Each structure stands twice: as structure tokens, then as C-alpha cells.
């Protein structure tokens, strides 16, 4: 696309000092608008899209939060696996009573109990789980599945940040291009206003021509101020996504390069395969079925017997009179649930939740297909818009050139020149919008297929 230097070919009309004051005021207003529209980008840091993405991946607080969740999930898995190991505890007790108490009961008719009103004991106990109805094994699987879901959720957050960063960066580039065109248009209109004002003072043009230019100049000035506000918002949004402080000095960023397009060959079936493998939402839905299945087996395990072994060492002390005795013991515990209505309800609930998870997967599958199809359609439409808008830019530039020459020779009308100038800017804006829309559609396609990580390469 041509640079917007076409406005440098201004009307060659004699000048006069009659409008110097008005021109000075208009220039001052433009300066104030550009200052208040956003931070001064003269000292702004120039940064590439890849650098923005790398910094966002390193510093965005949402990703740091997700990493901490992954670390907590690792500990959850360790906790679930630890339930397979023996448990050792140390217990102690001290009691003082008003009357002597048989703290050691009688062992037989010939071995009497031992009394004391002041006694204590301590014991070390080890419990070894032998069989818990599969609950321990299922607990480990459940922790691993939930960790996988956390990982996929973090990937989903990464994808959102990548998509928002790319779109914001591209919007920044688009607004910068529009700003160049708008500034050139304002400059041309100011020059035209000065020249037509001179002609009006000489009686060679009607006042309506001057008013038309002033109206269009006011509109273009307002548009430039709006573009500056958009640039300021894009700059702060980009800083936020990169994990920088919004409004601080390090948020003054300028993107490098120009908004361009790189056509991508797409295929629905291949995109669907990639989505099944890489898209976080689909993987989360699949893990939802696995989690529901493990939960159902875990609930069924509560209806099965549980077996554990235990052993310990016990030492007891009496102080009035003094006596101590130690002993060891081993044993086995067996618990058989006879009736547990709550456990049966849990089994029924988990079976229903599994069917719900399967329905959820079907919904996600349909959404993935729809997203891929819509993004391919948007890419095709965007490609066509780029070609048509590029041709419109060439036609608008030529029309403006012709009308400019006609008016400078006195053969054209001011309204035709202004219309050609407005059409020229509109064509340039439509072309930059088409470039942005295609790149946004490309982001949508990569989001739909789970390939947004390609932007980091």
C-alpha cells in the first residue's frame, strides 16, 4: 500500500496574512488534543509481537497463579499416594483422679489390677492399609486427572492471553496507520482551508466552500483525537497483558513494523484432528468423563470391606504407688458395611454425573466443529476483503489526484475534492480494517484448533 504522501501535492494558490491568526489557533488546538489523548510516545519502547508474547508468558499474573495451582496439584498427588504407606503415631496421656483407679486391669485371678490416683501412658502405633475397596488407588487416579485438568486450564489461560496480545498488538498497528492517514488528511485540509480563505478574501470562491472545508476539518480533527485515544487504550492494554504496571513509564510501548498478512492454507478435517489433540477445552471435557468414572468407582468402593493391620508398643506408669508396665500388640481390623444409604446414593449420583460429562463432551465437540468452520469462513471472507479493499485504495488515490488537479486548475468543484479526499481516507481505513480482520480471523482459527502456541515460535 502506498504511503499517505499524496497530501503533499497541495493547491498552488497565492497566500495572504489575513488568516494567520485562525491557522495559529487551529494548530494550537490540534497540539493540545494530541497531548491529552495519551502518553507521549516519543520516548516509548519499540517492541515486536514476539517480544510482547514472551514477556506476557513470563510475567502475566494469571499465568503465575496457574503455575502455583500446578504446584499445589503435585502436592495433592503426593498426598493421595501417601495413603498407601503405613501411618505411625505417638500418643501420650496423663491422669490424676480423686480416688485410686485400676489403670492396669486384672489379667487373671492371680494377677490383680494396679491402682493409682496419678498415672500416665504413652504408645507408638503403626497402621498399615491392606485393602480399602480400591479407594486409595482411585484417589491417586483422581488426583492425577485433576492435575491434568489444571494443566489444561492453564493452557486455556495461556491461549486467551496469546490471542488477546496478538489482537491488541495488531489493533495498535492498525490505529497507527490510521493516525498517519488522519494526520495527513488534517494537514491537507488545513492547507486547503488557508488557500480557500485567501481565495474567499479575493472574492474568487463562495463562502460555502470555506465552510465545507472547516466542517470536514473539524470532523477529521475529532477523528484524529479518537484514534489517539484508541492508541492510548491499546498501549495500556498491551502493557497489562505483558504483566507491566498500567499507567507507569514502562507501559509506554510502540509496536514495530506494519500490519501485514500471511495467508494460511486451512483444512477442516486436519483442523479437527489438531483440536482434538491440542485444544484445552476438548481435553478438559475428556478428562471430565474420566473423573466422573473414577468418582463412580470410588463411591462403589465405599460399599466394599476395608482391611488394615496395626501394631504398637504401650508403656503405662503409676505414681501412687509407683508402678510401670510395657507391652506390645499387633492386630488386624476388618470393616464390612452392611447398610449405608448415603453410599448407595453417591454411586447413583456419580453414574448420572458421568452421563452429564459425556453430554458435555458432545457439546464441546460440536462447538469445536462450529468454531473451526466459522474461522475458515472468516479467513476466506477476509482474504477477499483484502483484495477488494486494496483495489479500492488504488482507485480512491487516483480519484483524489484527479480531483485535486481539477480544482487547482479551476475546473473542479470543492465538494468533489472533499468527497474524493473523504473517500480516499475511507478506502485506506477499510484496507487497514480488512488486514486487521483477517489477522483476527487467523487468531480465531488457531484458537479453534488449539495452535495458538505457534505465535511463540
Same domain, 63 and 181: yes
Same domain, 407 and 386: yes
pLDDT for 76 equals 94
360 belongs to a structural domain: yes
pLDDT for 349 equals 93
pLDDT for 75 equals 94
327 belongs to a structural domain: yes
Same domain, 258 and 308: no
pLDDT for 249 equals 67
pLDDT for 251 equals 65
Same domain, 66 and 110: no
Same domain, 241 and 331: no
Residue ending a domain, among 312, 339, 366, is: 339
Residues 305 and 286: their CA atoms lie apart, in Å, by 31
Residues 285 and 290: their CA atoms lie apart, in Å, by 9
Same domain, 328 and 346: no
Same domain, 123 and 136: no
pLDDT for 320 equals 80
Cell of 163: 490471542
Q: Which long-range contacts (CB under 8 A, 24 or more apart) does 290-294 make?
A: 290/145, 291/142, 291/145, 291/146, 291/149, 291/357, 292/350, 292/353, 292/354, 292/356, 292/357, 293/354, 294/138, 294/141, 294/142, 294/145
Environment class of 170 (CB within 10 Å of its CB; exposed 0-12, middle 13-18, buried 19+): buried
Q: Which residues contact 362 (CB under 8 A, 6 or more apart)?
A: none
Question: Is the preceding omega at residue 321 within 30 degrees of 0, hence cis?
Answer: yes
Q: What is the largest CA-CA distance in the chain?
A: 139
Here the CATH number for the domain that contains residue 109 is: 2.20.200
pLDDT for 6 equals 36
Sign of CA dihedral 153, 156, 160, 162: positive
Environment class of 101 (CB within 10 Å of its CB; exposed 0-12, middle 13-18, buried 19+): middle
Residue ending a domain, among 339, 355, 386, is: 339
pLDDT for 111 equals 85
pLDDT for 40 equals 45
Residue numbers of the domain that contains 182: 15-39+58-85+132-303+340-456
Residues 324 and 317: their CA atoms lie apart, in Å, by 4
Residues 457 and 447: their CA atoms lie apart, in Å, by 16
Same domain, 434 and 318: no
Q: pTM here?
A: 0.78
CB 315, CB 125: distance < 8 Å: no
When divided into structural domains, the chain yields a total of 2
52 belongs to a structural domain: no
| Look-up of cell digits 475546473 | 411
pLDDT for 182 equals 87
pLDDT for 212 equals 83
298 belongs to a structural domain: yes
pLDDT for 13 equals 31
Residues 124, 129, 135, 138, Cα dihedral to 10°:
100
Here the CATH number for the domain that contains residue 216 is: 1.20.1600.10
Residue ending a domain, among 314, 339, 364, is: 339
Residues 65, 70, 75, 79, Cα dihedral to 10°:
120
**Per-residue pLDDT tens listing for the chain (457 residues):** 333 333 333 333 323 333 333 433 334 333 433 443 444 445 668 889 999 999 999 999 999 999 999 999 999 999 999 999 999 999 999 998 888 888 888 888 888 888 888 899 999 999 999 998 889 999 999 999 999 999 999 999 999 999 999 999 999 999 998 898 888 888 888 887 888 788 788 887 788 878 888 888 898 899 899 999 999 999 999 999 999 888 766 667 888 888 888 888 889 999 999 999 999 999 999 999 999 999 999 999 989 999 999 999 999 988 888 888 889 999 999 999 998 888 899 999 999 999 999 999 999 999 999 999 999 999 999 999 999 998 998 998 888 888 888 877 777 777 787 788 888 888 888 999 999 999 999 999 999 999 999 999 8
Same domain, 157 and 102: no
Cα Rg, the chain, nearest whole Å: 39
Amino acid at each position: 500500500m502506498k504511503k499517505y504522501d499524496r497530501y503533499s501535492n497541495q493547491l498552488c494558490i497565492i497566500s495572504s496574512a489575513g488568516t494567520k491568526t485562525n491557522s495559529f489557533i487551529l494548530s494550537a488546538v490540534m497540539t493540545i488534543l494530541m497531548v491529552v489523548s495519551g502518553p507521549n510516545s516519543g520516548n516509548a519502547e519499540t517492541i515486536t509481537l514476539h517480544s510482547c508474547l514472551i514477556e506476557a508468558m513470563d510475567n502475566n499474573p494469571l499465568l503465575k497463579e496457574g503455575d502455583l495451582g500446578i504446584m499445589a496439584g503435585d502436592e495433592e498427588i503426593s498426598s493421595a499416594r501417601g495413603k498407601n504407606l503405613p501411618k505411625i503415631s505417638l500418643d501420650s496421656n496423663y491422669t490424676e483422679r480423686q480416688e485410686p483407679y485400676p489403670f492396669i486391669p486384672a489379667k487373671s485371678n492371680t494377677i490383680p489390677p494396679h491402682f493409682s490416683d496419678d498415672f500416665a501412658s504413652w504408645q507408638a502405633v503403626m497402621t498399615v492399609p491392606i485393602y480399602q475397596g480400591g479407594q486409595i488407588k482411585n484417589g491417586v487416579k483422581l488426583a492425577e486427572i485433576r492435575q491434568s485438568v489444571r494443566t489444561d486450564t492453564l493452557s486455556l489461560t495461556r491461549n486467551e492471553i496469546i490471542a488477546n496480545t496478538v489482537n491488541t498488538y495488531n489493533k495498535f498497528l492498525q490505529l497507527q496507520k490510521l493516525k498517519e492517514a488522519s494526520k495527513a488528511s488534517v494537514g491537507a485540509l488545513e492547507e486547503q482551508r488557508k488557500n480557500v480563505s485567501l481565495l474567499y478574501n479575493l472574492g474568487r470562491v463562495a463562502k460555502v466552500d470555506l465552510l465545507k472545508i472547516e466542517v470536514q476539518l473539524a470532523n477529521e480533527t475529532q477523528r484524529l483525537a479518537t484514534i489517539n485515544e484508541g492508541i492510548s487504550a491499546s498501549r495500556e492494554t498491551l502493557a497489562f497483558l505483558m504483566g507491566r504496571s498500567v499507567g507507569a513509564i514502562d507501559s509506554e510501548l510502540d509496536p514495530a513494523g506494519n500490519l501485514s498478512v500471511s495467508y494460511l492454507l486451512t483444512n477442516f478435517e486436519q483442523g479437527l484432528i489438531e483440536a482434538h489433540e491440542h485444544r484445552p477445552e476438548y481435553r478438559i471435557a475428556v478428562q471430565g468423563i474420566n473423573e466422573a468414572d473414577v468418582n463412580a468407582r470410588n463411591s462403589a468402593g465405599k460399599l466394599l470391606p476395608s482391611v488394615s493391620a496395626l501394631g504398637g508398643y504401650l508403656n503405662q506408669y503409676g505414681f501412687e504407688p509407683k508402678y510401670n508396665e510395657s507391652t506390645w500388640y499387633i492386630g488386624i481390623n476388618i470393616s464390612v458395611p452392611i447398610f449405608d444409604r448415603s453410599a448407595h446414593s453417591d454411586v447413583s449420583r456419580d453414574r448420572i454425573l458421568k452421563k452429564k460429562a459425556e453430554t458435555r463432551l458432545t457439546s464441546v465437540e460440536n462447538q469445536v466443529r462450529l468454531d473451526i468452520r466459522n474461522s475458515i469462513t472468516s479467513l476466506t471472507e477476509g482474504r477477499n476483503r483484502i483484495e477488494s479493499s486494496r483495489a479500492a485504495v488504488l482507485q480512491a488515490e487516483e480519484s483524489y489526484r484527479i480531483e485535486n488537479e481539477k480544482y487547482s486548475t479551476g475546473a473542479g468543484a470543492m465538494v468533489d475534492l472533499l468527497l474524493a479526499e473523504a473517500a480516499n481516507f475511507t478506502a485506506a481505513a477499510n484496507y487497514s480494517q480488512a488486514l486487521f480482520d483477517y489477522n483476527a480471523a487467523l487468531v480465531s482459527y488457531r484458537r479453534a484448533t488449539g495452535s495458538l502456541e505457534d505465535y511463540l515460535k
